[in-house]
Amino acid sequence: MSTDPRPRSAHRLPAAVALTGPGIRLREWTDADLPLLVDLFDEVETARWTPLASPFDADAAREFLTKARVARAEHRAVQLAVTLDGDEPCGVVMLFLGLDERPDQAELAYAIGAAHRGRGLAAKAVRLMTDYAYHVVGVPTVGLRIPPDNVASIGVARATGFVRSDAPPIVRDRRGGAFTLDLWLHRPVP
């Protein structure tokens, strides 16, 4: 039984996903990735901007992978490793079904490890996952939730066709504290 309070989506996620684009490959996480998850996500900027555990240790990595697999089995989310060639993970990109209590829409999130930033991987991953959300999953709307002072993520949103909506910011709990997020919606090119 799911503990996620969001409404169930009518959309179904395929059992396995691998997406490839210029200079990037998104793939499923494996148990062999567990030690690499710690290297990717146990750092200051990831702790500052994401709800991932901090410190992000081996237990947090196992919990991350377990939750990702449960969410997939329940058709609530797909969380893929961002890689250059299908091998070493450089980050994660996530597609959650449901946006603002609307199960027919999707929300994306991502995190790129510090050693891999500045190479355009976040934008490439967001483009691939947005396309996947529209053309494979079939959602009509894709959104990002971004803190108003996260300049790097705002840059990724703009570069990938997202526009800040006029919806009021939401506040989510993050490690026991309030975290304010603006809604950015994708505007597909006609």
What are the 10-residue block averages of pLDDT along the chain, 190 residues in total?
44 77 94 93 89 91 94 90 93 87 85 94 97 91 94 96 94 81 85
Residue 186 belongs to a domain: no
Residue 155 belongs to a domain: no
Backbone dihedral region for residue 114 (phi beyond 0: left; psi -120 to 50: alpha; all else: beta):
alpha
Number of structural domains, the chain? 1
Residue 91 belongs to a domain: yes
Q: How far apart are CA 161 and CA 123, in angstroms?
A: 10
pLDDT at 11: 63
Residue 148 belongs to a domain: no
Residue 168 belongs to a domain: no
What one-character DSSP code corresponds to residue 115?
A: G
Residue span of the structural domain in which 123 resides? 19-140
pLDDT at 12: 64
pLDDT at 3: 44
Q: 79-83 — which CB contacts under 8 Å span 24+ positions?
A: 79/29, 80/17, 80/19, 80/26, 80/27, 80/28, 80/29, 80/129, 81/26, 81/27, 81/28, 81/29, 81/33, 82/24, 82/26, 82/110, 82/112, 82/116, 82/121, 82/125, 83/24, 83/25, 83/26, 83/27
Residue 150 belongs to a domain: no
pLDDT at 1: 36
pLDDT at 100: 66
Residue 179 belongs to a domain: no
pLDDT at 4: 43
CATH code assigned at 59: 3.40.630.30
Residue 80 belongs to a domain: yes
pTM over 0.75: yes
Q: How many residues does the chain have?
A: 190
Kindly give the pairing relationship between strand 142-146 and strand 102-112. parallel
